[in-house]
């Protein structure tokens, strides 16, 4: 396929009316062809109208048809072959292996959702049959099912051009639920985004679905996104990005006459806690894993470990020495774009000039390279300083982390209690230590969506049980996840039918159970038909 720089609106590719821009290769600063056109207000309105019209039909699509469509999306993305992988690398600076891994993850989650919806579990079908002779009052026939919420807007993420963008987890979950999707592509990787949009458009055509089921729009700023969030026909938003960006979208959505949910994943510092015996046994290997984790993807992962807590002593000093040596050998890190690179540089300058942190080690400095490069940096501090300076607990998006010395175990627990909501928290300890530090583990569960034990938080497994979410400010709603099949619950709402004619009910609620799914019938889970 060829990148056109156009918008996809209801199955038709058309040049944007709002101007144009170019993607930039972050490794050398060169502009990439072609020019990318920008959607106009009129085109945004058209995409929303098409999605609203498609919603009426798409929500009634049989589960097997929708599942086959999701599998076709994955197949079409794979068919893009080297063209997609090369464009990912050109627009992000990621190596080919990273692009291949992210493509596999993207396609796997599409296929996972396909299998999941065929089971019917997400429908949560519940039936309480009528009890006309019940005293003192009869019970009517009541049947419950989850139905699609309506058109969903998905914002592509800068740091995951495939897995959290056009065909990423938000899109996969919304389409699986039966919701049309309008993707607002990220300007950092517009060519990658268009190629994936072309693949989905082809799958829509092959499945003979309404053309408004999927649209792709892009601009270089915030106008298109703001217009989409405010559009009356839009019923939910999926976003992965910064706290500032997510908060702005939540505010816009709440200003509507009919506020809608914004499911925003907004970043995290993902604290790690090194318990004494684990640190004594494995200081060098823990240091290697930690440095690899916080520099992975140039530190541009939302689950990068940005804080490490440990009780001071010789074993912590051994850990610091090993980590510092690895950091000192680190090459300059390629950042995704000039804005992220500048923001990271300013954040480092502010932290260094404030004098609250000690520089433990820095990697090799950028030396005249063209493109967007930053210096890997490892800071040190104390729990007392961190607790007095809450701004130090904020995410720094890039290859930097802080090792925090605690006077004792009590101070480490107190520090954990002061941390805001997180996507992840990590504990390294022996089994006995984990039992002894149960209060710390309990606190981390209260604070984070995923508790990692004797591992590292980078690497979010795509599986049914994964939770990628957490209390505010990590996300806008801690009740939900953006990874794993439970992510579909963001884009459905419950409805019940009371005394509705059995033959006119949704198939999942009919007596003979034509879908063969498991349902809760009069309080008992069963796949048997109702006599």
Tokens of 307: 């804080």
What is the rounded distance in angstroms from the CA atom of residue 199 to the CA atom of residue 1?
Answer: 9
What is the rounded distance in angstroms from the CA atom of residue 448 to the CA atom of residue 439?
Answer: 14
The pLDDT, as a whole number, for residue 387 is: 87
Q: Are 497 and 507 in contact (CB under 8 A)?
A: no
Q: Is 194 a catalytic residue?
A: no
| Mean pLDDT over each residue of the chain, to the nearest integer | 97
The pLDDT, as a whole number, for residue 271 is: 98
- Cα dist from 382 to 169, 275, 407, 412, 424, whole Å: 38, 16, 8, 10, 21
Average pLDDT of the segment spanning 319-336: 97
Q: Is 118 a catalytic residue?
A: no
The pLDDT, as a whole number, for residue 453 is: 98
Q: Are 317 and 274 in contact (CB under 8 A)?
A: no
**Which residue is listed with tokens 């679905």?**
209
CA 214-158-7 angle, to 5 degrees, is 35
Ramachandran angles phi, psi of 506, nearest 5°: -55, 145
Average pLDDT of the segment spanning 408-436: 96
Overall residue count recorded for the chain in this entry: 531
What is the pLDDT confidence band of residue 504, given thresholds at 50, 70 and 90? very high
Query: Please, where are the H alpha helices in 120-189?
Result: 169-177
The verdict on whether omega for the bond into residue 34 sits within 30 degrees of 0, i.e. cis, is yes
pLDDT at 530 over 80: yes
- Cα dist from 259 to 149, 234, 256, 473, whole Å: 13, 10, 5, 20
Candidates 288, 376, 380, 283; CA nearest to 328 is 376
Burial class of 321 by CB neighbour count within 10 A (0 to 12, 13 to 18, 19+): middle
Ramachandran angles phi, psi of 334, nearest 5°: -75, 125
Which of these is catalytic: 90, 102, 265, 395?
265
The pLDDT, as a whole number, for residue 354 is: 86
pLDDT at 368 over 80: no
What are the pLDDT digits (tens) for 49-104?
999 999 999 999 999 999 999 999 999 999 999 999 999 999 999 999 999 999 99
What is the pLDDT confidence band of residue 232, given thresholds at 50, 70 and 90? very high
Cβ atoms within 10 Å of 271's Cβ, excluding its own: 25
Q: Is the CA virtual torsion 53, 56, 58, 61 positive or negative?
A: negative
Ramachandran angles phi, psi of 484, nearest 5°: 95, 160
pLDDT at 221 over 80: yes
Tokens of 160: 């995951």
Tokens of 484: 């794993």
CA 351-401-349 angle, to 5 degrees, is 20
pLDDT at 183 over 80: yes
- Cα dist from 511 to 132, 328, 503, whole Å: 17, 68, 9
Which of these is catalytic: 73, 107, 302, 341?
302
Cβ atoms within 10 Å of 126's Cβ, excluding its own: 19
The pLDDT, as a whole number, for residue 267 is: 84
Domains of the chain: 44-266+481-490 (3.40.605.10), 272-453 (3.40.309.10)
């Amino acid at each position: 396929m060829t990148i056109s720089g156009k918008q996809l609106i209801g199955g038709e590719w058309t040049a944007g009316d709002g101007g144009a821009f170019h993607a930039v290769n972050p490794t050398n600063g060169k502009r990439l062809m072609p020019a990318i056109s920008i959607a106009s207000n009129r085109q945004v309105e058209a995409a929303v109208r098409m999605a609203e019209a498609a919603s009426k039909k798409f929500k009634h699509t049989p589960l097997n048809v929708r599942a086959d469509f999701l599998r076709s999306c994955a197949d079409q993305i794979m068919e893009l072959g080297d063209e997609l992988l090369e464009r990912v690398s050109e627009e992000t600076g990621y190596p080919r292996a990273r692009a291949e891994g992210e493509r596999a993850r993207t396609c796997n989650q599409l296929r996972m959702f396909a299998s999941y919806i065929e089971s019917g579990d997400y429908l949560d079908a519940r039936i309480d049959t009528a009890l006309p002779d019940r005293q003192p009052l009869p019970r009517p026939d009541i049947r419950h099912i989850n139905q699609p919420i309506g058109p969903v807007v998905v914002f592509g993420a800068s740091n995951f051009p495939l897995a959290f963008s056009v065909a990423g987890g938000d899109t996969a979950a919304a389409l699986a639920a039966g919701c049309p999707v309008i993707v607002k592509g990220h300007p950092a990787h517009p060519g990658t985004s268009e190629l994936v949009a072309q693949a989905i458009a082809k799958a829509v055509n092959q499945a003979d679905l309404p053309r408004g089921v999927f649209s792709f729009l892009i601009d270089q700023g915030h106008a298109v996104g703001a217009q989409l969030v405010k559009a009356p026909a839009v019923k939910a938003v999926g976003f992965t990005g910064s706290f500032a960006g997510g908060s702005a979208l939540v505010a816009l959505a709440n200003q509507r006459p009919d506020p809608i949910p914004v499911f925003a994943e907004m970043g995290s510092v993902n604290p790690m806690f090194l318990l004494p015996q684990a640190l004594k046994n494995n200081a060098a290997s823990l240091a290697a894993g930690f440095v690899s984790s916080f520099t992975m993807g140039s530190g541009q992962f939302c689950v990068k470990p940005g804080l490490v807590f440990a009780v001071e002593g010789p074993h912590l000093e051994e850990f610091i020495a090993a980590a510092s040596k690895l950091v000192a050998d680190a090459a300059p890190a390629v950042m995704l774009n000039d804005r992220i690179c500048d923001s990271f540089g300013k954040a480092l300058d502010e932290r260094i000039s404030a004098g609250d942190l000690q520089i433990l080690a820095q990697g090799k400095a950028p030396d005249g390279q063209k493109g967007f490069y930053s210096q890997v940096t490892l800071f040190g501090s104390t729990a007392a300083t961190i607790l007095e300076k809450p701004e130090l607990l904020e995410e720094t998006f890039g290859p930097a982390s802080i090792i925090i010395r605690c006077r004792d175990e009590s101070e480490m627990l107190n520090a954990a209690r002061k941390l805001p909501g997180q996507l992840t928290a990590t504990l390294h300890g022996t089994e006995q230590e984990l039992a002894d530090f149960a209060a710390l583990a309990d606190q981390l569960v209260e604070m984070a969506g995923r508790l990692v034990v004797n591992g590292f938080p980078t690497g979010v497994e795509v599986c049914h049980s994964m939770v990628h979410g957490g209390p505010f400010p990590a996300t806008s709603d801690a009740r939900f996840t953006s990874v794993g099949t439970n992510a579909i619950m963001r884009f459905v709402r419950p409805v019940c039918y009371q005394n509705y004619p059995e033959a006119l009910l949704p198939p999942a609620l009919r007596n003979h159970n034509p879908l063969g799914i498991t349902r809760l019938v009069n309080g008992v889970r069963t796949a048997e038909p109702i006599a």
